[in-house]
């Protein structure tokens, strides 16, 4: 057996092993994602929804300043998208992680609602 022939045999084996490893990882990932899909799908819009609600609550119900509202509304995940505060309409619209959410003030008794 020459060193060249050994290398020829190892090549397909390594390739098979890597392919099997990738397939196993994909399957493992899918085995977590599929049963948890409902929860994951519910989680993805959460940063935008939560931040919009928090900001609207602070600004329009508690009457805090924008800086105070931002400090209070801090989430573990950074809000990398846009935050639009409409003081005339008393609403906050947040776009983050491909999702958009608006929270608006309703009235003195009922505070804000997440649309």
Partner 1 sequence: MPPVRAFFALAALSFLLLSCRPPASPDLELGARALPAAIESERLSFYAPPARTPLEWPTRGWKSVDPASLGLDPGALSAAVDPYFVRQGAEKDRVGVRTDGIVVIYHGLLVHERYAGGYGPESRHLWWSVAKSVGNALAGIAVKEGRLALDEKVSARYPPLGAPDKADIRVDDLLRMSSGLYSSETYESSFIHSTVNQMLFTIGSRDMGAFAASQPKVYGPGAIWEYSSLTPNLFSAWLSKVLGADYADYPWKRLFEPLGMSSAVLERDVAGTYVLSSYLYASARDMAKFGWLFLNDGAWEGGRILPEGWVSYTTTPAPAWLRTPAVDPAKPELGYGAYWWLNRSGPGKGLPWPSVPEDAFAAEGHWGQYVVVVPSRSLVVALESDTRDSGALDMNRLLAGLIASGMKEVGK
Write out the two tokens for 40.
Answer: 């994951």
Binding mask 5-34 toward partner 1 (x if CB under 8 A, else -) reads -----------xx--xx-xx--xx--xx-x
Dihedral pair phi/psi, residue 2, rounded to 5°: -95, 155
Distance of CA 47 to the CA centre of its chain: 6
When the beta carbons of 32 and 87 are compared against partner 1, the nearer one is 32
Q: Is 89 in the site for partner 1 (CB under 8 A)?
A: no
Residue (61 or 85) nearer to partner 1, CB: 61
C-beta separation of 111 from 60 below 8 A? yes
Q: Which is nearer to partner 1, 4 or 107 (CB)?
A: 107
């Amino acid at each position: 057996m020459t060193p060249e022939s050994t290398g020829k045999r190892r090549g397909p084996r390594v390739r098979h092993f890597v392919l099997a490893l990738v397939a196993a990882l994909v399957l493992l990932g899918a085995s977590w994602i599929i049963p948890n899909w409902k929860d994951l799908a519910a989680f993805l819009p959460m940063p935008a929804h939560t931040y919009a609600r928090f900001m609207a609550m602070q600004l329009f119900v508690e009457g805090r300043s924008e800086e105070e509202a931002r400090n209070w509304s801090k989430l573990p995940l950074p809000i990398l998208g846009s935050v639009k505060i409409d003081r005339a309409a008393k609403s906050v619209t947040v776009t983050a992680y491909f999702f958009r959410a608006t929270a608006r003030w309703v009235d003195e008794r009922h505070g804000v609602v997440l649309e």
